[in-house]
Structure 1
Amino acid sequence: MPHPVKPWPYPRWIAHRGAGQLAPENTLAAFRVGASHGYRMFECDVKLSLDGVPFLLHDDTLVRTSNAQEQLGAGLSTVGGDHPWATLSQLDAGSWHSRAFAGEPLASLAAVARFCRANAYFVNLEIKPTPGLERQTGQVVAEHAARLWADAGVPPLLSSFDVPALEAAQGAQPQLPRALLLDALWSGWLEAARSLDCVAIVCDQLLWDPSTVAQARGAAMRTLSYTVNEPAQAQRLIDLGIDGLITDRIDCFAPARQPPAN
């Protein structure tokens, strides 16, 4: 007998990296732009600075989304995790996107928590470790999330492609909800999600079909999909009963006009 899924407090529509196409991804500016389009939930990537401060960055290096090469100087590492937060906080993480966002700083997890809690927004924190720091990152992100969202009505959803990072998060703060991210249906994916006591599976949209949805639902897990940027893709997933759609196209989908997940 399949287990009944638990009530799901999160909105169906989730802004990817804040509003990662219309604003510099993983910054508070992106969250604000997403919010201005009616989004109430945001996905973002979290890793650790050299001195253990959780901050938002997708790539291993700072090159694509900041002025690190210019600011740090020749010969210095551009790996985000190789620098203390005092250095990272001085970088320009907006000019690469457009002049309108020049001077936008990297966002700390603490700043994200203040913004989301002040506005009653929801967040999906993807644990994105610097290679070699998988367990440390999972543990620290979970500990900070538990503290920053203490007594919040709805806690952040922690997700990761990295099983050791999720295991460390589970060990550190087992009460926080977890989700396994998948870009392929590798052998044992459902068993791994069960062992992590996940509440959800987050798949590349092409991996969801009636069979995989039924497997996840049979294990009492919710279903989320990334990165959904076309109306036909979104409709197929909604017809399948997918609970969460992560999109870059916040200008294409109006969450207020979309039915919520049950």
Structure 2
Amino acid sequence: MTTPWPYPRWIAHRGAGKLAPENTLAAFRLGAQHGYRMFECDAKLSSDGVPFLMHDATLNRTTNGRGTGGDLPWSQLAQLDAGSWHSRSHAGEPLPTLENLARYCIANGFLLNIEIKPTPGTEATTGKVVGEHAARLWQGQAVPPLFSSFQPGALEGAKATAPHIPRALLLDTLWEGWADVAQRLGCVAIVCNHALWDTALVAQVKGLGMRTLSYTVNDDWAAQRLIALGTDGIITDRVDFFSPATA
């Protein structure tokens, strides 16, 4: 039997896609202005164990820092400019902690998909710490965040410290044994590269009692195909194009 599903179909990728510097509070505010009420973010750990938002292992692309983000303590990461790379209007935008984003989402009734994005080699630890923080931050909330990760070890870690927070396995290919791993981890959803979904795969995943989500869907034809297939969630950069009110 498929689990109850409190999350909307449309999810804003990294806050507002490419319209604002990804994984910053400015992006989540902009996504909300476009009517989105669920967001996807990436969470990793500083060297002193603070979960913060960043996609890449290295700082180079989305901040004025250099090197591996997870090698620095939060006191140094907090000083970085995570907005100038995007546009002058966002110059000085800081990296947020997961706690910063959690408080924003909870205060506004927004929902969150936390992709656990470990610095390579820290999969289990990152999952455990993100799990601990999320369990504390969302304590007493009616709808918890949804964890996802490409790394089974990260999901295993999150399961150990926050077993009540739902988990989803991310797939960019259908590697051998993925379904068994998802079941072992107690996943409630599979999040695929949208091109992987077809009638047979949707039926297989739903037959396992899991939901079907897609990343990153930026074209109308792709969204319509996924809706016709009966999938459950669409992660998009195009918050300015797709209305989250669309059925």
**TM-score, normalised by the number of residues in structure 2:** 0.99
| Cα distance in 2, alignment partners of residues 176 and 214 from structure 1 | 25
Q: Which residue of 1 aligns with 2:176?
A: 187
Give the conservation status (yes or no) of the 8 Å contact 1:24–1:30: yes
Counterpart of 1:26 (choices 13, 23, 28) is 23
Counterpart of 1:144 (choices 127, 133, 137) is 133
| Cα distance in 1, alignment partners of residues 121 and 234 from structure 2 | 30
Q: Which residue of 2 aligns with 1:220?
A: 209
Give the conservation status (yes or no) of the 8 Å contact 2:15–2:28: yes
| Cα distance in 2, alignment partners of residues 211 and 100 from structure 1 | 46
One-letter amino acid matched to 2:8: P
Counterpart of 1:88 (choices 70, 73, 77) is 77
| Cα distance in 1, alignment partners of residues 233 and 94 from structure 2 | 29
| Cα distance in 1, alignment partners of residues 209 and 26 from structure 2 | 35
Which ranges in structure 1 are unaligned for 5 or more consecutive residues?
Answer: 70-77
One-letter amino acid matched to 1:183: D
Q: Quote the offset at 1:171 in angstroms.
A: 1.5
Q: Quote the offset at 1:243 in angstroms.
A: 0.5
| Cα distance in 2, alignment partners of residues 44 and 173 from structure 1 | 18
Give the conservation status (yes or no) of the 8 Å contact 1:64–1:96: yes
Q: Which residue of 2 aligns with 1:164?
A: 153
Give the conservation status (yes or no) of the 8 Å contact 2:17–2:239: no
Q: Secondary structure at the match of 1:144?
A: helix
Q: Percent identity?
A: 66
One-letter amino acid matched to 1:98: S
| Cα distance in 1, alignment partners of residues 165 and 186 from structure 2 | 10
Q: Quote the offset at 1:7 in angstroms.
A: 1.6
Q: CA RMSD in A?
A: 0.6
| Cα distance in 1, alignment partners of residues 13 and 71 from structure 2 | 26
Q: How many residues align?
A: 247
**TM-score, normalised by the number of residues in structure 1:** 0.93
One-letter amino acid matched to 2:96: A
Q: Secondary structure at the match of 2:55?
A: coil
One-letter amino acid matched to 2:60: V
Counterpart of 1:15 (choices 12, 16, 36) is 12
Counterpart of 1:241 (choices 217, 230, 234) is 230
Q: Which residue of 2 aligns with 1:129?
A: 118
Q: Which residue of 2 aligns with 1:73?
A: none
| Cα distance in 2, alignment partners of residues 27 and 20 from structure 1 | 11
Q: Quote the offset at 1:216 in angstroms.
A: 0.5
| Cα distance in 2, alignment partners of residues 220 and 244 from structure 1 | 15
Q: Quote the offset at 1:20 in angstroms.
A: 2.7
Q: Which residue of 2 aligns with 1:75?
A: none
Which ranges in structure 2 are unaligned for 5 or more consecutive residues?
Answer: none
One-letter amino acid matched to 2:150: F
Q: Secondary structure at the match of 1:255?
A: coil
| Cα distance in 2, alignment partners of residues 149 and 113 from structure 1 | 8
Give the conservation status (yes or no) of the 8 Å contact 1:20–1:26: no
One-letter amino acid matched to 1:181: L
Q: Which residue of 2 aligns with 1:209?
A: 198
- Residues 15-64 of structure 1, C-alpha deviations (whole Å, 9 max, x = no match): 00111300000000000010000000000100000100000000000000
Q: Secondary structure at the match of 2:6?
A: coil
